[in-house]
Amino acid sequence: MEDRVKRIEKALDHFLPERKGSLSETVTDAMRYSLLNGGKRVRAVLTLAFCELCGGDEDMAMPFACAVEMVHAYSLIHDDLPCMDNDDMRRGKPSNHKFYGENYALLAGDGLLTKAFETALSSEAFRNVGMERAAYAAAVLARCAGEHGMVGGQCIDLATENRTVSLDELCEKDTGKTANLIMAACMMGCIAAGANETQINAAKEYALHIGLAFQIRDDILDVTGDAKELGKNIGVDAQNARCTYVSILGVEKAQALVDEHTEKALHALDAFDADSTFLHEFAEKLATRSK
């Protein structure tokens, strides 16, 4: 796992190299500041794991693993901006706009989102999986990241922030905000390996449920977690009077829901013949994570 993350970091650095001496080097620096900031690489690891599960190798999956991390990094930069969550800190460091200013942070997010598609449609991607699979994978990424997916989830967040929301609405919001990008990660891994539609759909199902489990666990950690360990402020949801799984269900029932989604995710893995121990353990670990 540690080696895998190291190879992902190396690939991210490869796909987004510095451009020292260029008149526009600052935006690349700002993009790299957030992209290479030591995230957990949950999404990229899932892309690699599903590709392997479907008989593909790491080279086939890597451009898509990096693309999904780029989309994730862009979403965090824009989400931290003053007009959104107005967060000053991210992973124990100043957030992008605190370090580079709002204008560069805006561009860095735009640049990373664009770079994600450049990477998924790069000559490496074309060479390793062919243009057809790359096109299919990039189309899935776009669908999951856009107004039907992650951007849509962000919008629901804004549209519901000053009112009580139902559990269903919360689920729809987090499916958009969180689960959709994890879906893209898992599905792209399968697509890179040339998996069939049944497998791609099973990966989507797994992703939906670990995505929701991840987000519910996030809400729990905002109450029970440790700011230092998490690398971000806690109590933010309560401070902003946000409706969360915890505010609706309480910590205990919220954790039961995490466990329920985890069970469903594990069930989805039955669609694969190959050994899915890693993804099995991954889902179980997410359900009890403390950071």
Choosing from 47, 128, 154, 215, the residue that interacts with its own copies (CB under 8 A) is 154
Q: Helix, strand, coil % (nearest 5) of the chain?
A: 75, 0, 25
Which one, 177 or 289, has the nearer CB to its own copies? 177
State the binding string over 7-36 for its own copies (x if CB under 8 A, else -).
------------x--xxx-xxx--x-----
Residue 241 CB, shortest distance to its own copies, in Å, is: 17
Helix (H), strand (E), coil (C) string for 137-180: HHHHHHHHHCCCCHHHHHHHHHHCCCCCCCHHHHHHHHHHHHHH
Tell me how far apart the alpha carbons of residues 276 and 210 are, in angstroms, rounded to a whole number.
15
**Cβ atoms of residues 70 and 116 within 8 Å:** yes
How many residues comprise the chain?
291
Choosing from 4, 36, 136, 248, the residue that interacts with its own copies (CB under 8 A) is 136
114 binds its own copies (CB under 8 A): yes
Tell me how far apart the alpha carbons of residues 225 and 291 are, in angstroms, rounded to a whole number.
8
Choosing from 6, 18, 158, 288, the residue that interacts with its own copies (CB under 8 A) is 158
Residue 55 CB, shortest distance to its own copies, in Å, is: 21
Residue 184 CB, shortest distance to its own copies, in Å, is: 11
Which one, 184 or 203, has the nearer CB to its own copies? 184
134 forms bridges with which residues in the sheet?
Answer: none
Q: Give the CA angle between residues 253, 256, 259 to the nearest 5°.
A: 160
Tell me how far apart the alpha carbons of residues 281 and 271 are, in angstroms, rounded to a whole number.
17
Residue 59 CB, shortest distance to its own copies, in Å, is: 18
The rounded radius of gyration (Å) of the Cα atoms in the chain is 18
Tell me how far apart the alpha carbons of residues 32 and 108 are, in angstroms, rounded to a whole number.
9
Residue 262 CB, shortest distance to its own copies, in Å, is: 26
Q: Give the CA angle between residues 104, 228, 241 to the nearest 5°.
A: 75
Which one, 166 or 290, has the nearer CB to its own copies? 166
Choosing from 5, 142, 230, 234, the residue that interacts with its own copies (CB under 8 A) is 142
Tell me how far apart the alpha carbons of residues 114 and 19 are, in angstroms, rounded to a whole number.
17
Stretch that binds its own copies, among 57-65, 146-154, 244-252, 282-290 (CB under 8 A): 146-154
183 binds its own copies (CB under 8 A): no
107 binds its own copies (CB under 8 A): yes
Give me 10's structure tokens.
Answer: 């190396």
Stretch that binds its own copies, among 38-46, 151-159, 216-224, 238-246 (CB under 8 A): 151-159
273 binds its own copies (CB under 8 A): no
Nearest to 210 by CA among 149, 262, 160, 257: 262
Q: Which residues bind its own copies (CB under 8 A)?
A: 19, 22-24, 26-28, 31, 74, 78, 81, 83-84, 101-104, 106-107, 109-111, 113-115, 117-118, 121-122, 126, 131-132, 134-136, 138-139, 141-143, 145-147, 151-156, 158-160, 169, 172-173, 176
